[in-house]
Every structure is written in C-alpha cells, then in structure tokens.
C-alpha cells in the first residue's frame, strides 16, 4: 500500500509559466516532507523540504505548500525553466522509528522553450 | 553540494557472480542508506545504518548484505547475482536528526545476465 502518491506521471509546461507538482500521503504520522529532483543517470538531488508545523516554505523559485487536513503537498516552480525538466519525487518521514523516507513514484516535468 | 560517491556507475555481469557495490561519503554523516529503484517506480529502502557496526534491513526484502566498518564507507554485497537483482541501487547519507534531508549518490545501474 503506497503511503505517498504522485498521481500525475508527467507534466508539460511552457518556459516562464508556473509548474505545480502534487503529492498526497496517507500516513498521519508523517511530519516532514521533501522534494527531490532527479536527472537521467544521476541520483536524486534534495530540493526543498517542509516541516508539519509550517504550511509553506519558499526557496527562490521553489515553494512547497502543505495542507495537513487534506494530507496533500504541492511544489510550485515559478518561473519554470527548461533546466527544470527532470523527474520530481515527493518523500515523507515520521518522527517515530528510524525516520526513514517514504517516496512517491515521481512526476516527470518537461519545460519547453 | 553533497559528497557521496558510488562505484561502479554501471555493471553488467553474469549470473552467479559475487558483486560489491561501493558507497563512500565525505560529510561525516552518521546515517547511511541503500535504496533500490526500478524504472518508473518509487525508491525502496533495503538497508540502513545508524553508524559504525550498525546495519539494519529496510522495508524491501533483499538478498544483499551490507557492512559499516568505517563511518564513511557502506558497501553492499550480493554473494551470487541473479537476473532478479537487475535494478538501480542508490546510496544515501544524512545527519542523525529528524527534519534532515538525505543526500544521494548517482547510483549503480546493475544488469545481471
């Protein structure tokens, strides 16, 4: 049973527009959420994270929003650039136990010029 | 930028061979992890370590074994490779606290013939 779900396998956006990537989770014990970006033939690169005590975290062009009641988070990229084209993974962890990361299946973002 | 290195990047080898995938990090991280990822799927945790001489199995059952004799080194071994072991193996490391991201290497893509 997948605890972290990314229901959109792919997303296409034009350069300069906003990209919105979505992620849903089912485990109410999750309290730390991360986004990773992965280029082909490379490992995932940490992008941005958010703790459950916040509902928004911003870093440059990247903003993550957390809606705890809906168990939903989203990553906004504004403005989108062709270099943002990659697979984006959502991940979550809980404070209890080993605090392991649970990953979604990823969303492939394509930003066209 | 995270400094975590995996070798080899690609390995094609015959059934029955013993394989060791290397992972080293220079950040002094206590925790290290091995993930397995098949195309289009999420990352699955197969092994993790709290520190030297600590190893634990992850969520996904794996026939591989790991060792942690030095803080910076976390190799993964398959005693007798089989075609079912064909996958991408990703190593990660991080500091011990909660709300800390894991940093990934570029992975080893393993193909067993």
Chain B interface, mutation test: which of A10, A26, A34, A43, most B Cβ atoms within 10 Å? Answer: A43
CA distance A71 to chain B (A): 18
Least confident of A93-102, B48-57, B65-74: A93-102
Least confident of A31-35, A93-97, A100-104, B88-92: A93-97
The mean pLDDT value of chain B amounts to: 92
With cut-offs at 50, 70 and 90, classify the pLDDT of residue B100.
confident
Task: Supply B45's token pair.
Answer: 């945790």
Query: Cis bond leading into A79, ω under 30°?
Result: yes
Query: Looking at beta carbons, which residues of chain A come within 8 Å of B45?
Result: 100-101
| A 37-96: CB under 8 A from B | 41-46, 49, 51, 89, 93, 95
Query: Looking at beta carbons, which residues of chain B come within 8 Å of A43?
Result: 4, 6, 90, 92, 104-107
Instruction: Give the mean pLDDT of A26-30.
Output: 93
Pairing of strands A10-14, A107-112: parallel
Whether residue B42 and residue A100 make contact (CB cut-off 8 A), yes or no, is no
Q: What does the alpha-carbon distance between residue B101 and residue A46 come to, in Å, rounded to a whole number? A: 7
CA-nearest of A30, A61, A68, A36 to A49 is A36
Each residue of A40-84: pLDDT tens digit? Answer: 888 999 999 999 999 999 999 999 999 999 999 999 999 999 999
Q: What does the alpha-carbon distance between residue B89 and residue B92 come to, in Å, rounded to a whole number? A: 10
Task: Supply B6's token pair.
Answer: 């995996």
Query: Looking at beta carbons, which residues of chain B come within 8 Å of A33?
Result: none
Each residue of A87-106: pLDDT tens digit? Answer: 999 999 987 766 688 999 99
Whether residue B42 and residue A103 make contact (CB cut-off 8 A), yes or no, is yes
Q: What does the alpha-carbon distance between residue A95 and residue A100 come to, in Å, rounded to a whole number? A: 9
User: What is the structure's pLDDT at B2?
Assistant: 57
More confident residue, B41 or A50: A50
Enumerate residues 6+ apart whose C-beta is below 8 A from B91: B4, B6, B21, B23, B32, B33, B34, B35, B74, B76, B104, B105, B107
């Amino acid at each position: 049973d997948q605890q972290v779900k990314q229901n959109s396998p792919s997303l296409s956006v034009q350069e300069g527009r906003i990209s919105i990537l979505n992620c849903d989770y089912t485990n109410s014990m999750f309290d730390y959420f991360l986004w990773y970006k992965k280029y082909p033939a490379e490992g995932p690169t940490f992008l941005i994270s958010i703790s459950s005590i916040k509902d928004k975290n911003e870093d440059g062009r990247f903003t993550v929003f957390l809606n705890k009641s809906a168990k939903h988070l989203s990553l906004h990229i504004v403005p989108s650039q062709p270099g943002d084209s990659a697979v984006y993974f959502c991940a979550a962890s809980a404070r209890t136990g080993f605090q392991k990361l649970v990953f979604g299946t990823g969303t492939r973002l394509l930003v066209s010029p | 930028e995270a400094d975590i290195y995996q070798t080899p990047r690609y390995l094609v080898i015959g059934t029955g061979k013993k394989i060791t995938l290397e992972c080293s990090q220079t950040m002094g991280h206590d925790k290290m992890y091995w993930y397995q990822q098949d195309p289009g799927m999420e990352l699955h945790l197969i092994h993790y370590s709290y520190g030297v001489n600590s190893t634990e199995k992850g969520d996904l059952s794996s026939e591989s074994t790991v060792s942690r004799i030095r803080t910076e080194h976390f190799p993964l071994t398959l005693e007798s490779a089989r075609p079912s072991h064909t996958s991408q193996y990703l190593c990660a490391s991080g500091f011990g606290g909660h709300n800390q991201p894991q940093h990934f290497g570029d992975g080893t893509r393993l193909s067993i013939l």
